[in-house]
Structures are given as C-alpha cells and as structure tokens.
C-alpha cells in the first residue's frame, strides 16, 4: 500500500510555513512562503495556502492521492468544528469558510484552529507538556497568544474565544493596546509592546542598538538576542518590563487554573527563552498562592517553530 501523508500549515500574517508529515509523524519536507495580508485578501491567503500545498506536493514528489489530510493553525477566532474563520486580527477574514475551497481543491479533509490553541495542543501532544493534564500556554510573538488544556482537553470556551490572555488588563492606565484597551499584557510583553517601549526611550534621546530594528515596526527576535548579549540597557529594560508583567499574568493564571505546567512559546521565547524564563520564575512567586505555586512547573516550549505544525497534525482525525 502506498505511504500516506499529512500536510500541516502555520498561517501567519506575513508568512506560511508548510510541512509534510509521513505516517510515522516525521517531517519529510518543509516550505516557507510570504503572505501579503491587507486589503480584501482573504482570496489571496486562500490562494497562498493552495499554492503552498501544491508546491509541497510537486517538490516532494508525493501524489495528490497520497494526502490523507491537510491541517492548519491561523490567527483569529476560528470554529474548529466547521472550519469557519469568524474573525482574524491580521488577516482580512470575517465569517469566512476556508475549509470548503481547500477540500474541493485537494479532495482531502481540511482542519483549522486558532494558531496558539493549536501550538499549545502541539506542546501537549508531542512537546514540553506531554504527560500533563492541565496546561496553560503563553506564546510571546508579535502579539501575545494563549492556549489552555483542561483535564486533557483543549478548552476553547464559548464560540472558540477562550484563552485571550494577551488582553488580560494589568494596568488600566498603561500603554494603549491594539485591541483599544490600555495596559493589556500584550501592550507590555509582546514584540509590539517591547518595540513601543524601545521607540519611546529612543525618542527621548537615549541610545540603543535596537533603534534601527524598531524604527519601522516590531524588531526581529534575533536583533533582541544580539542587543541583550551586548548589554544594551534599553533592550534590557524592555525585557525586564515584559517579564515583570508576564510574571504577574502567570501568577493570575496559576491561581485561576492551578495547572500542572505553564509553557512559554513563540518567536521571542525561541530566541531568548532562557532569559525570559529565568526573569519570570524569579518573580512569579510574589503573585501566586504558595500552596498552588508549589505544584506548578514552568517550561519553554520544546518544539520551537514547529509547535503549531505538530498541533495541526494532532487535530487530524485519522
């Protein structure tokens, strides 16, 4: 019998990562492609997904008939049961059924879920949270995403909107967040939040090696790593501030859910996770009930950039 394969995608606002898994759950082929978000480009994103899948099939030499299923994680509120994207902040989707055109095109089942939910699922099934039943996941990237496993199941709440930890308000007088509120965790601790802080300090006349990296928007995680290694004071302050608010948020989440483990993932953690973990754990005890704190572990995501891809794989019903 011919080998069957699963195609898994991580759909971002600026790029799509695509991989092919064989039946032993090994990645046998990888591809990265830019997406042009903006305007009415739901069609564009759909076309990019189709072209990535087509390219993966063509370049890897597998046949269309060998595809068992396609699965993806994407930003936004997504109905995992129906494949309808209800809302996506960085992609122009509203009540958009993305499942049908993909299934029609490839004749294979298509699964899609919120990217961070899917990433936390990946860590739970295959990574840092394997073997734990209650998992809080915080993913630090351009924004701040969350995911929650309760009693061994992904908890998505009413209409798949749960675990928006990035919009937990930690200071109502704090910096403005993209969501319109002030002082959200995302406004302090994401790449957007840290970039805004660095820009503010540079505009006040302070010097930082990050000045150029934040000029046009958010820095690349590698630039932050270099700045921290060189002892740049402004970058160090931005990280200290980010970790301070992550410690408060983590304490709140620990007290609320009493998880077995809190997993930190995303691009920033991939680049400078040890520094973040050390700073968060050195402070988190101040914000947790001691009796709850002593039964919680804190870990970095183990799958790095592949958390969402492995999570997508675990959504596929054989």
Domains of the chain and CATH, by start? 5-119+307-315 (3.30.420.40), 132-301 (3.30.420.40)
Mean pLDDT confidence for 270-276 = 96
Q: 171-222 pLDDT, tens per residue?
A: 999 999 988 999 999 999 999 999 999 999 999 999 999 999 999 889 999 9
Residue 43 binned pLDDT confidence (cut-offs 50, 70, 90): low
Separation of first and last alpha carbons in the chain? 16
Reported pTM: 0.93
Q: How high is the pLDDT of residue 37?
A: 52
How far, in Å, CA of 73 to CA of 88, rounded? 12
- Which is higher by pLDDT, 316 or 46? 316
């Amino acid at each position: 019998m011919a080998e069957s394969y699963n195609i898994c995608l991580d759909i971002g606002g600026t790029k799509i990562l695509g991989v092919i898994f064989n039946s032993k759950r090994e990645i046998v082929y990888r591809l990265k492609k830019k997406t042009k978000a903006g305007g009415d480009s739901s069609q564009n994103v759909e076309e990019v997904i189709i072209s990535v899948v087509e390219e993966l099939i063509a370049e890897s030499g597998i046949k269309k008939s060998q595809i068992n299923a396609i699965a993806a994680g994407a930003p936004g509120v997504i109905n995992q049961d129906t494949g309808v994207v209800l809302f996506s902040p960085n992609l122009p989707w509203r009540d958009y059924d993305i499942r049908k055109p993909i299934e029609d095109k490839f004749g294979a089942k298509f699964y899609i879920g919120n990217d961070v939910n899917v990433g936390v699922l990946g860590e739970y099934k295959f990574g840092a949270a394997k073997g734990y039943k209650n998992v809080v996941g915080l993913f630090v990237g351009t924004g701040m995403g969350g995911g929650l496993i309760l009693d061994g199941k992904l908890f998505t709440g009413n209409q798949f909107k749960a675990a928006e930890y990035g919009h937990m308000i930690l200071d109502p007088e704090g910096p403005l967040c993209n969501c319109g509120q002030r002082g959200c965790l995302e406004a302090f601790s994401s790449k957007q939040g840290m970039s805004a802080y660095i820009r503010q300090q540079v505009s006040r006349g302070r010097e930082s090696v990050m000045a150029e990296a934040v000029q046009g928007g958010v820095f690349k995680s590698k630039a932050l790593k270099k700045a921290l290694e060189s002892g740049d004071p402004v970058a160090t302050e931005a990280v200290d501030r980010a970790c301070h608010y992550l410690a408060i948020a983590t304490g709140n989440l620990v007290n609320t859910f009493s998880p077995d483990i809190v997993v930190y993932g995303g691009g920033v953690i991939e680049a400078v996770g040890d520094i973040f973990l050390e700073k968060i754990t050195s402070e988190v005890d101040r914000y947790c009930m001691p009796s709850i704190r002593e039964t919680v572990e804190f870990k970095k995501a183990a799958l790095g950039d592949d958390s969402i891809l492995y999570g997508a794989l675990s959504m596929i019903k054989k």
